[in-house]
Amino acid sequence: MSELLISEQNGLRTLHFGSEWVQGRMRISRPAELMLGYAQDMCAALLLVPAPKQVYVAGLGVGSLPRWALANWETSLKRMEIVELRPDVLALTRGAFPLPADDPRVILTLGDAAKIITERPAASVDWMWVDCYDGRGRVGALESEEFYAAAHASLKAKGVFVANMWSSVTRYRGGLRRLRAVFGHDNIVLLPAIATENVTVIATKSALPALDSRAIQARARALQAEHKLPFERWLKALAPVATAL
């Protein structure tokens, strides 16, 4: 198991898993702010689906996305289960990278996110975030067709699956093909990061809306004004999964 390394500089706290790769970063004075571009990108699915009530998070890291969700989905969010494999990472929520204390909406679960999702009721999740990498950049079963099928089964009719993938690794296209086999090629779009090899993969259980419609363009403007994130740029950058295969 890779060692957890925490550093602080210029008001930012950063986590590494025993390597130079940044696992997560938090601004100490504003912990709900999303500091990394790819983490911001993982909110782009709001263009396609409404703010969720039930959220499943595979991989805790520094808790950036859960903190953002708790701060920004106050009126919609009812339950967020965060599943983390490593007890030492889970312990960070009580120390270096805390979640809001005693929030009844948050369920912290120690275990294998690929297995635990198979134990959850069908059609019970609105939104699933998947961002699980170890110190060597491995994700294991969380890129398997079995996991994708279980994730699909757990999603409600208008649910969305959002995963962080790396386009620079050889398994990238295989993961996309497995995801396409479960969700269908018309229900998946890609959002490449600007400065890194990260790609946010968004898969919906229902048909995607028309990305060139006036309605979704208006939604992008409204979301950008509300959340101060680049939804209009994201809308222009979304690409069909076929472009990567």
Task: Report the Cα–Cα distance between both ends of the chain, in Å, rounded.
Answer: 33
pLDDT score, position 56: 98
Report in angstroms the alpha-carbon separations of 92 from 74, 202, 243.
23, 28, 38
From 120-134, 144-158, 230-244, the region with the lowest mean pLDDT = 120-134
Residues 6+ apart with CB under 8 A from 146: 114
Residues 6+ apart with CB under 8 A from 102: none
pLDDT in tens, 193-204: 998 899 999 999
pLDDT at position 1 over 90: no
pLDDT score, position 134: 55
Residue that the structure tokens 């100490």 belong to: 28
- State how far the Cα of 201 lies from the Cα of 191, in Å rounded to an integer: 6
Phi-psi region of 235 (alpha: psi -120 to 50; beta: other; left: phi over 0): alpha
The 3-state secondary structure of 174-236 reads HHHHHHHHHHCHHHEEEEECCCCCEEEEEEECCCCCCCCCHHHHHHHHHHHHHHCCCHHHHHH
At residue 135 the predicted structure's pLDDT band, cuts being 50, 70 and 90, is very low
User: Percentage of the chain surpassing pLDDT 90?
Assistant: 81
Please list the alpha-helical segments (H only) found in the chain.
37-41, 64-72, 87-91, 113-116, 145-154, 172-183, 214-227, 231-237
Instruction: Dig out the tokens for 199 from the structure.
Output: 């790609």
pLDDT score, position 113: 95
pLDDT at position 101 over 90: no
Helix (H, G, I), strand (E, B) or coil at 68: helix
Backbone angles phi, psi at 220, to 5 degrees: -60, -45
Match domain 31-244 to its CATH number in 3.30.70.260, 3.40.50.150, 3.20.20.100, 2.102.10.10: 3.40.50.150
Q: What is the pTM of this model?
A: 0.95
pLDDT at position 231 over 90: yes
pLDDT score, position 100: 87
User: Percentage of the chain surpassing pLDDT 70?
Assistant: 95
pLDDT score, position 133: 66
- Span 28-53, mean pLDDT? 97
Q: Where are the domains of the chain?
A: 31-244
At residue 170 the predicted structure's pLDDT band, cuts being 50, 70 and 90, is confident
**Average pLDDT, rounded, for the chain:** 93
Phi-psi region of 77 (alpha: psi -120 to 50; beta: other; left: phi over 0): beta
